[in-house]
Structure 1
Amino acid sequence: MRITLVGPAYPYKGGGARHTTELAHRLAERGHEVVIESWRAQYPSLLYPGRQTIDVPEGELFPRTRHDLAWYRPDGWWRAGWRAARISDLTVLAVFSPVQVPPYLGVLAGVGRGGRTVALCHNVLPHEPGPADTTLMRALLRRVDGVLAHSPDQAHLARGLVLGTDTRVGMAEMPPHLPETNGPVSAHPEGVRHHLLFFGIVRPYKGVDVLLRALAQGAPPRVRLTIAGEFWGGSAELRSLAADLGIADRVEFREGYVPAAELSELFTGADAVVLPYRSATATQNVWLAHAHGVPVIATRAGTLPGHVRDGVDGLLCAPDDAADLARALTAFYAEGEPQRLRDGVCPVDPDPYWDDYIATLTETGRPTG
């Protein structure tokens, strides 16, 4: 099959760019002809306050990648769709935010009737939706031939938005697409460090405020926490909360994007990674922690319970419940428990996930009947 992927690639950073690039490589390995239509300006800085690009690639680049799309050039949206229609059987739109809907409608106008189209939804609707998000996503999903969602709940949302149309909705779990780190994996040092790690973009739905309250309630007094990642809207509110809880001296705020070269040191310095999400669709952070031999304490949100084996390679607790998370932190630091859970950690095998993912994507994009 000839496929055009429309989505971020290097120099854009983070999991979205890695996913698009890894998907291109995996499709090409299976004999598909693949082109990436990427961005040279993906979002206005007003809508994405963090740093959008990086200087050093965090994985193997895909050679057939164009960087012509810009949020302020509608003519470029149409041209990307027109090119895709001429060279591809299937055009796949990587959807991260309703902000992308206008450009993607422009791409679809360029495709016209020249090929099949699939919206690959990292989130069907945002975790923190705005007033126009449902209308925008409905407009997009009703214009494509297929939707690929990453969890049963997300697939259910998508089916509601395309009700009454012929749009096909497929579901496959997001496969592993971890950054290439400079350092050994699965080589966590022995001993208890009394150090926990939260890693990733800090947004309200991630529940970092819940983690701070749980740390104050239930973790042994020696335990410290590092919060590492970009803070959506700044860290002032969380810093104030830590001070009010009397734990400011136990919390390190490491603000900003963490390059792949620094991940090994960050992860192997922690006894556990804590993911206190209020809600979730898919995350790579359980697999990233396990790749470094680190157990995970997480909530039963989204796909997290499927990645963390409770009592084997981590612990699970209720979402948005500081008392239950405090219970899990206390249980984790019971005598011998950090080492026992560390011994249960196994790195993920990505191949079965990718086999299922690509089969579902290509099937979702095939004509019906």
Structure 2
Amino acid sequence: MRVAIVGPAFPYKGGGARHTTELAHRLAAAGHEVVIESWRAQYPGFLYPGQQTIAEPEGEPFPATRHRLDWRRPDGWWRTGRALRSFDLVVLVVLSTVQVPSYLGILAGLRRGAAKNAGGCRVVALCHNVLPHERKPYDEPLMKRLLRKVDGVLVHTDAQADVARTLTDRPVRVAEMAAHLPSEGAPAPDDEKVRRRLLFWGIVRPYKGLDVLLRALAEGPDDVALTVAGEFWSGLDETRELIRSLDLTSRVELRPGYVPAADVPGLFAAADALVLPYRTATASQNVWMAYAHGLPVIATDVGDFGAQVRDGVDGLLCRPDDVASLASALRRFYAPGEPERLRSGVRPVDHGPLWTAYVDTLTGAVR
């Protein structure tokens, strides 16, 4: 099968770009002919306040990657669609509703002059999030318009499938999102030292609940420190003020900005656990990232976290947006012997079978 994936790839950074690239590698390994149609300019800067691109790839780039798409050139969207007519399957990687206008342009070029659903090219929308965590009035109308024009939809959780089915009558399939971690990295040191330090890692946005974690830290064990490493899309000054008001200045280290893949092992090695205090979630790589580095996870029971974290075995679960519940989990985690016991329960996951199932589900999504 000839497959084109339209989505971010290196030099773009982050989980979306890594997933697109790893998916291309897995499809090629399964015997498909694959190309990635990526971007030379994906978003205007005001829509993505963080660092968009990086100098060194996170993992192995996919060789058949073209960078022809530009948010400033709608004519290029249509030409890309025309160029993809000879493919059997086109996968539109949906990370944000900001992408929808360009994808509608690609679909216009792809469908113009060709009989839709006439045995030719099929189109699947691969939705990392069907709708954003922090929604705007235009999000639902845009996604509805896109999902009604494709042949099938692939999501990563049953909950996201339920959302998608409210927007389209096209077939919706679910495949668990397998790991697409950077190739750099090593497990945390194999020692039993308790470091009395926790880690919050990744882009900082309101739905991820950093403010809840800071308040819980103030109520939890008073000798535990926290490292916050990642880009702040907004609210850095407010976070610093909250830290000051909670008298946590000496216990919280802020490392705002993009974290290069080469720095990730050191961050994880310095912590006892990764904390994921999300208010809402869909599918996330962060649990798998922690386990790959030998760390247990303290997470709220939202999205896939409840299925990924074995409560009391390799981590702890608590209620979302609940300071008291998270503070209690921190105290439970630091009970004598618990950090060591939970770390001993961590087992990296074999994602080979998950990727095989994912590729099979994607390629069968419009059959």
Q: TM-score range by the shorter chain?
A: over 0.9
Supply the AA of the counterpart residue of 2:349: V
Q: Which residue of 1 aligns with 2:95?
A: 96
- Are 2:306 and 1:305 equivalent residues in the alignment? yes
Q: Name the structure 1 match of 2:39.
A: 39
What CA deviation, in whole Å up to 9, does each residue of 1:229-275 have, x standing for no partner?
00111411111111111112211110011111001000010000000
Q: Give the corresponding residue for 2:315.
A: 314
Q: Structure 1 residue 235 and structure 2 residue 262: aligned?
A: no
SS in 1 for 2:212: helix
The one-letter amino acid paired with 1:357 is: Y
**Aligned partners of 1:328, 1:233: CA distance in 2, in Å?**
27
Distance in 2 (alpha carbons) for counterparts of 1:30 and 1:14: 25
Give distance in 2, aligned partners of 1:247 and 1:186: 26
- Counterparts of 1:192 and 1:82, CA distance in 2: 58
Structure 2 CA distance for aligned equivalents of residues 356 and 303 of structure 1: 17
2:4 and 2:347 map into 1 onto residues whose CA distance is 35
Q: Does 1:206 align with 2:208?
A: yes
SS in 1 for 2:80: helix
Q: In 2, Cα distance between the equivalents of 1:42 and 1:323?
A: 41
2:271 is aligned with 1:265? no
> In structure 1, the residue corresponding to 2:45 is in which secondary structure?
coil
- Aligned pairs for 1:245-284 (under 5 A) are 245-284=246-285
Which digits, 9 at most, give the CA deviation of each residue in 1:107-136, with x for residues without a partner?
111110351000000000000000110000
CA contact (8 A) 2:186 2:292 kept: no
Report if aligned partners of 1:188, 1:292 keep a CA contact under 8 Å in 2.
Answer: no
Instruction: Tell me if structure 2 keeps the 8 A contact 1:188–1:294.
Output: no
Paired letter, 1:237: E
Q: Deviations over 1:18-57 (max 9, x none)?
A: 0000000000000011010000000100100111000001
- Counterparts of 1:186 and 1:331, CA distance in 2: 22
SS at match of 2:47: coil
C-alpha contact (below 8 Å) 2:226/2:251 kept by paired residues: yes
Q: 1:152 aligns with which of 153, 158, 168?
A: 158
State whether structure 2 residue 61 is matched by structure 1 residue 61.
Answer: yes
Whole-Å Cα distance in 1 between the matches of residues 47 and 58 of structure 2? Answer: 24
Residue 189 of structure 1 contacts residue 268 of structure 1 at CA under 8 Å; is this kept in 2?
no
Q: Within 1, Cα distance between the matches of 2:171 and 2:232?
A: 36
1:132 has 2:138 as partner: yes
Q: Distance in 1 between matches of 2:258 and 2:44?
A: 18
Q: Percent identity?
A: 64
Q: Please name the residue that 2:70 is paired with.
A: 70
Q: Deviations over 1:144-165 (max 9, x none)?
A: 0000011111000000100xx4
Provide the residue aligned with 2:147 in structure 1: 141
Deviation (angstroms), 1:187: 3.6
> For residues 208 and 151 of structure 2, what CA distance do their matches in structure 1 show?
32
Q: Secondary structure at the match of 1:248?
A: coil
Task: State the 1:185 CA deviation.
Answer: 2.0
Paired residue secondary structure (1:75): helix
TM-score normalized by structure 1?
0.96
Whole-angstrom distance in 1 between the partners of 2:190 and 2:285 = 19
Q: CA-atom RMSD, angstroms?
A: 1.0
Q: Gapped runs of 5+ residues in structure 2? A: none
Alignment partner of 1:217 out of 205, 216, 219: 219
**Deviation string, structure 1 residues 205-241 (Cα, Å, up to 9, x no partner):** 00000000100012x2111001110011141111111
- Partners in 2 of 1:339 and 1:80 — Cα distance? 53
Runs of 4 or more off by more than 3 Å in structure 1?
A: 186-189
Alignment check: 8 A CA contact 1:186 1:290 kept: no
- What secondary structure is seen at the aligned counterpart in 1 of 2:172? strand
Partner of 1:195: 197
1:49 corresponding residue in structure 2: 49
Q: Which residue of 2 aligns with 1:23?
A: 23
CA contact (8 A) 2:228 2:252 kept: yes
> For 1:6-21, what aligned pairs fall within 5 Å after superposition?
6-21=6-21
Structure-2-length-normalised TM-score: 0.96
Distance in 2, matches of 1:272 and 1:322, equals: 18
Structure 1 residues without counterparts, runs of 5 or longer: none
